[in-house]
Amino acid sequence: MAWLPVLIKACYFLAALLFILGLKRMSSPRSARGGIVWAGVGMLVAVLATFALPDLHNRGLILAAVLIGVSAAWWSGRRVAMTDMPQMVALYNGMGGGAAAAIGAAELFSYAGNAVTLLDGGQFTASGADTPGTAQLVLAVLGALIGSVSFSGSLIAFAKLQGWLDRRFVFPGQRVINLLVLAAAVVLGGMIASGHLSMPLIVAFFGLALLFGLMMTLPIGGADMPVVISLYNAFTGLAVAFEGFVLQNEAMIIAGTVVGAAGTLLTQLMAKAMNRSIGNVLFGSFGAAGGAAQEIAGSQKPIEASDAAVMMAYAERVVIVPGYGMAVAQAQHKVWEFAKLLIERGVKVKFAIHPVAGRMPGHMNVLLAEAGVPYDLIADMDDINPEFPQTDVALVIGANDVVNPLAKTDPSSPIYGMPILDVADARQVIVVKRGKGTGFAGIENALFYADNARMLYGDGQAAASELVAALKTLES
Amino acid sequence: MLDGFLALYVFMLAAFTGYEIIARVPVILHTPLMSGSNFIHGIVLVGAMIALGHAQTPFEMTIGFIGVLLGAGNAAGGYVVTERMLEMFKTSKPSAGKEAK
């Protein structure tokens, strides 16, 4: 049966190749759909090959766990609404981190068990396979630490985005305490890695690692969650790679490392789009400093939907700026219907998307694509900003912080320095907004008080429906 | 078996691969790509299967079982969510030609 191990190794190689090629295809819109299928085939090949491993026991248990896990995740992933995708990614990512931590735990506990039996037998022989090397121990501990943090952290991120935890937990000395928890986990990890394989030590180590993930994520506000989820995604990748080294599994090493690197870069891109460093997201208490916010002169001027519709119907260029508020109101279909009516009248319509609109970069693109908005009508911030001075009407729907001019003018503002969409440069700005409250970051928006801004109060869905109705009466 | 330095080389090259793949990606694909990479680290399922397959005591089996459960969830959930996101890009493609005139 010498061919079987070779065949299994070949399968892992094929899987690693398919993952890389799949990810490559996913990075271009044209081939993206094929990419996930390639990666999926890779996963199937790797899992089937693992089942064929000759020294695998508990096959019944494995099969049962796989079937339960797959069907539960498949069912939940199928029925979740498009707007809830970010938290589902957080949830599944947390599961991956948890699995990596579980592998680390299983390895460490089995080493600990073996060490005990060896000591009981009175003779401690360094018998190859069962005695782990230092490198192996260090990697197992590191993978377990990172995986645990990713697990508990992602679950908190999930709970926050799901709306189960809408408060930020901040208390004095929090940073110091978090650091102490991390330091304690690292010290215990170091002791384990240097050969102190005792049960209570390992249990305490996992407890501290999980606690740190929890405490690290709790003070971070909802607006920063995309960066955090992306970071934990990279963490899980790294944890998988480390545990892959421990298990000598090539598919895990390659896939984990690739995701770890790709996820790190993606996290940087996101943080950069918000003009903040990753360290600032994790440790800076965003908006906590209740400093004297700049008083804004002027008042918010309301407008009726019918007037807004007329204004846009006779405009030459209209730019629609959607934000998370549109997604929450599920208004993307109505908004696109409205845009189509405008296009039929000969108005040039574009959608402008800020890099961090929604809860994840590209989140808004996904929602607009779901509504059927073609690519070429969607513009990035850098492309659309020079066009605002030639724009007759900018329609802001459910976006707030990403169009706030204070980011440019008020150095004391927490969002100061974040690049924004310059909608105020348009001749008229219409802001669809639910009420007079502040945005996600809790900051007043100077745009709403600008002379050329008009407020159309109402839920995104209702406002868009009114606009469509108003436009239709105009035509008949 | 991967010895020390060979493992380090593999790690470095794989990291560069991941970095390069993402470096040229349009913003429009960031969310699906994050979801896609989330699916790919679902390969942790394989490791969890091996851990459960080598578990001897009931305690180890419990940990392994939880690991496989979570890993399977990561893989299956990651696939479904990514596929659903990317499905939209397909349907928007033909309409792009139609609407743009």
Report pLDDT digits (tens) over A314-334.
889 999 999 878 887 788 889
Quote the pLDDT of residue A166: 67
| HSE, side-chain direction, 13 A CA sphere, residue B48 | 37
Question: What dihedral do alpha carbons B81, B82, B88, B93 form, nearest 10°?
Answer: -170
Report pLDDT digits (tens) over A347-403.
999 999 887 777 666 778 888 888 888 878 888 888 898 999 999 999 999 888 888
DSSP characters over A357-393: -TTSTTHHHHHHHHHT--GGGEEEHHHHGGGGGG-SE
**Cα–Cα distance for residue pair A311/A397, rounded to 1 Å:** 16
Out of A55-64, A136-145, A406-415, B42-51, least confident range: A406-415
Interface test mutation site (partner A, options B70, B89, B93, B99, max chain A beta carbons within 10 A): B70
Rg over alpha carbons for chain B, rounded to the nearest Å, is 19
Angle at alpha carbon of residue B85, lines to B80 and B88, rounded to 5°: 125
Interface test mutation site (partner A, options B8, B9, B29, B38, max chain A beta carbons within 10 A): B38
Cβ neighbors of A50 (< 8 A, separation 6 or more) are A8, A56, B46, B49, B50
Residues of A in contact with B50 (CB under 8 A): 50, 53, 56, 103, 247, 249
A351-373 burial: b if 16+ Cβ within 10 Å, else e? bbbbbbbbbbbbbbbbbbbbbbb
Quote the pLDDT of residue A244: 94
pLDDT band at A296 (very low <50, low <70, confident <90, very high): low
Q: In this model, does residue A413 exceed pLDDT 80?
A: no
Residues of B in contact with A372 (CB under 8 A): 91-92, 95
- Rounded to whole angstroms, the maximal C-alpha distance in chain A is 95
Interface test mutation site (partner B, options A9, A14, A24, A33, max chain B beta carbons within 10 A): A33
Out of A258-267, A292-301, A331-340, A345-354, least confident range: A292-301
Q: Is B94 on the interface with A (CB under 8 A)?
A: no
**Cα–Cα distance for residue pair B28/A460, rounded to 1 Å:** 23
Quote the pLDDT of residue A269: 81
**Cα–Cα distance for residue pair A259/A151, rounded to 1 Å:** 16
> Residue A431 in 3-state DSSP?
strand
Q: Which long-range contacts (CB under 8 A, 24 or more apart) does A270-277 make?
A: A270/A226, A270/A227, A270/A230, A270/A355, A270/A356, A270/A360, A270/A361, A270/B30, A271/A227, A273/A354, A273/A355, A273/A356, A273/A361, A273/A419, A274/A224, A274/A227, A274/A355, A274/A356, A274/A418, A275/A417, A275/A418, A275/A419, A276/A227, A276/A418
Yes or no, beta carbons of B21 and A20 under 8 Å apart? yes
Tell me the shortest Cα–Cα distance from A322 to chain B, in angstroms. 14
Q: Which of A103, A263, A270 sits opposite B67 (nearest CB)?
A: A103
Intra-chain end-to-end CA distance of chain A, in Å: 79
The DSSP secondary-structure symbol of A413 reads S
> Residue A353 in 3-state DSSP?
strand
What average pLDDT does this structure show over A193-201? Answer: 88
Residues of B in contact with A241 (CB under 8 A): 11, 14
The closest alpha carbon to A250, from B19, B7, B90, belongs to: B7
Q: Is A116 on the interface with B (CB under 8 A)?
A: no
Report pLDDT digits (tens) over B18-62.
998 888 777 777 788 889 999 999 999 999 999 999 998 999 999
Tell me the shortest Cα–Cα distance from A403 to chain B, in angstroms. 18
More confident residue, B2 or A248: A248
Quote the pLDDT of residue A237: 96
> Residue A55 in 3-state DSSP?
coil
Give contacts of A 123-162 with B, CB under 8 A. 135
Report pLDDT digits (tens) over A117-169.
544 443 444 444 456 788 889 999 999 999 999 999 999 999 988 878 766 67
A165, A156 Cβ separation under 8 angstroms: yes
The DSSP secondary-structure symbol of A349 reads E
Quote the pLDDT of residue A295: 56
- The residues with which A396 forms a beta bridge, in sequence order, are A321, A431
- Residue A432: phi, psi to the nearest 5? -90, 125
Tell me the shortest Cα–Cα distance from A99 to chain B, in angstroms. 4
**Cα–Cα distance for residue pair A103/B48, rounded to 1 Å:** 6
Quote the pLDDT of residue A180: 93
The two structure tokens encoding residue A282: 């994790």
Tell me the shortest Cα–Cα distance from A241 to chain B, in angstroms. 8
**Cα–Cα distance for residue pair A236/A147, rounded to 1 Å:** 6
Report pLDDT digits (tens) over A442-469.
677 888 888 888 888 888 888 888 899 8
Yes or no, beta carbons of A355 and B52 under 8 Å apart? no
